[in-house]
Amino acid sequence: MALASRSARLALARLGRLGLGSCGAPRRGAYEWGVRSTRKPEPPPPDRVYEIPGLEPITYAGKMHFMPGLARPVFPPWDPDWTPPKFRRLPPLHEHPLYKDQACYVFHQRCRLLEGVKQALWLTKTKLIEGLPEKVLSLADDPRNHIENQDECVLNVIFHARLWHSTEDIPKRETYCPVIVDSLIQLCKSQILKHPSLARRICAQNNMLSTTWNRGFREGYPYPYPHTLYLLESANLRPHRFQPDQLRAKMILFAFGNALAQARLLYGNDTKVLEQPVVVQSVGTDGRVFQFLVLQLNTTDLASDEGVKNLVWIDSDQLLYEHFWCLPVVRRKAVVEPVGPTGFQPETFRKFLALYLHGAV
């Protein structure tokens, strides 16, 4: 029976009782009479398509509407030539046009290497040497390279970054980390008066580097040689920041990427031992602890394990200061710790300055 379903019966009853309301629907909030049961209504009977061999079925396809008595037509499956982006499915990976059989691993800024420095050294075929090279250390110790009142200036920079630069009482790491690195670079730049070749440098922030396919900048760029990479760990929460070991691994890999791009630019894409090694420096910090790195790329032949290796000098975990008190510590009405940094080490800034002046002195 066509009206065997409960809802249809109820609808008829509704219409009959209320007369035809607006478009036959009951008014809002009207109670629906009837027995409540969770039994699902039975499904509609399927329209069977009969295939009798030898007979051509006469269907209502030409009439464009249902006709009882005629057979149900079977249409060929419709293939839409355009799908909206919301419903598009990606082809399986091996049918993708850019698919290659060999897997390529992508390293980006948020990759944390689990094994840290050891993994980075293996990936880039590099040998680790503790401490900075003697050339850079001699630059650090040379008193001619020092700025006058260097310690006072660095202390002012620390105060400015940690306390003075914002109206709040205790600035957060996200603001003070870039401020301290910018101020230290500005302090190093004040040496331009002594070494005019420092003016031939430019700073590029947040640029993209992908070294296996492209070079870093377009051709004709007047400053093509990467000098130093500054990596900042400025997240406010400690779990969002990289551990020192992971930061050092990231520094090695990014310096290696820059050096490789530079080598490809100079010597072409084939793998060989370079006559003139490419040197890239890197400084990584979270505003208090500095890691210094100098990477020398001797070979682009990374497939084999033997032969000439690349070298990296690392100076890790250099504290600029132990802790910074933004508010004075007062115990029993006596100032125990005044406002300022504790455990200040001027040696760290000397190494920073040496890395900056390296190549220009």
Partner 1 sequence: MAAARCWRLVLRGSGLSLHTAAEAAVKAPEVTGPDVAAAPVARYPPVVASLTADSKAARQRRVERWQATVHAAKSVDEKLRILTKMQFMKYVVYPQTFALNADRWYQSFTKTVFLSGLPPPPPARPDTEPAPALDVVALRDAACDCLLQEHFFLRRKKRVPLYLEHEAITSPFLDQLVASLTGLLSARNPALANAALDCKRPVHFYWLRGEEIISHGHRKGRVDALRYQINDKPHNQIRISKQLPEFVPLDYSVPVEIPVMNCKPDKLPLFKRQYENTIFIGTKTADPHCYGHTQFHLLPDKLKRERLLKQNCADQIEVVFRANAIASLFAWTGAQAMYQGFWSEADVTRPFVSQGVITDGKYFSFFCYQLNTLALTAQADQNNPRKNICWGTQSPSCGM
Nearer to partner 1, 158 or 314 (CB): 158
225 near partner 1, judged by CB under 8 A: no
Give the one residue of 5, 138, 190, 212 binding partner 1; rule: CB under 8 A: 190
146 near partner 1, judged by CB under 8 A: no
Question: Mask: binding to partner 1, 151-180, rule CB under 8 A, as x and -?
Answer: -----x--xx--xxxxx-------------
Give the one residue of 23, 35, 202, 303 binding partner 1; rule: CB under 8 A: 202
Selection from 276, 249, 278, 275 nearest residue 261 by Cα = 278
Answer yes or no: are the C-beta atoms of 181 and 285 closer than 8 Å.
Answer: yes
Question: Mask: binding to partner 1, 315-354, rule CB under 8 A, as x and -?
Answer: ----------------------------------------
221 near partner 1, judged by CB under 8 A: yes
Nearer to partner 1, 138 or 214 (CB): 214
Answer yes or no: are the C-beta atoms of 244 and 290 closer than 8 Å.
Answer: no
204 near partner 1, judged by CB under 8 A: yes
Angle between helices 244-267 and 117-124 (to 10 degrees): 10
CB contact set of 316 (below 8 Å; sequence gap of 6+): 244, 248, 291, 292
Q: What angle do CA 196, 198, 199 make, to 5 degrees?
A: 80
106 near partner 1, judged by CB under 8 A: no
What Å distances lie between residue 167 and 88, 162, 234, 343, CA to CA?
51, 12, 19, 25
Answer yes or no: are the C-beta atoms of 113 and 119 closer than 8 Å.
Answer: yes
6 near partner 1, judged by CB under 8 A: no
- Token pair of 15 as six digits: 């219409």
216 near partner 1, judged by CB under 8 A: yes
- Which strand (E) or helix (H) includes residue 312? strand 310-319
CA 58 – CA 54 distance, rounded (Å) = 13
Nearer to partner 1, 5 or 186 (CB): 186
186 near partner 1, judged by CB under 8 A: yes
Answer yes or no: are the C-beta atoms of 127 and 312 closer than 8 Å.
Answer: yes
**Which one-letter DSSP state was computed for residue 146?**
P
251 near partner 1, judged by CB under 8 A: no
Chain position carrying tokens 């504790």 = 342
217 near partner 1, judged by CB under 8 A: yes
230 near partner 1, judged by CB under 8 A: no
- Contact residues toward partner 1 (CB under 8 A) are 156, 159-160, 163-167, 182-183, 186, 189-190, 192-193, 196, 198-199, 202-205, 207-208, 214, 216-218, 220-223
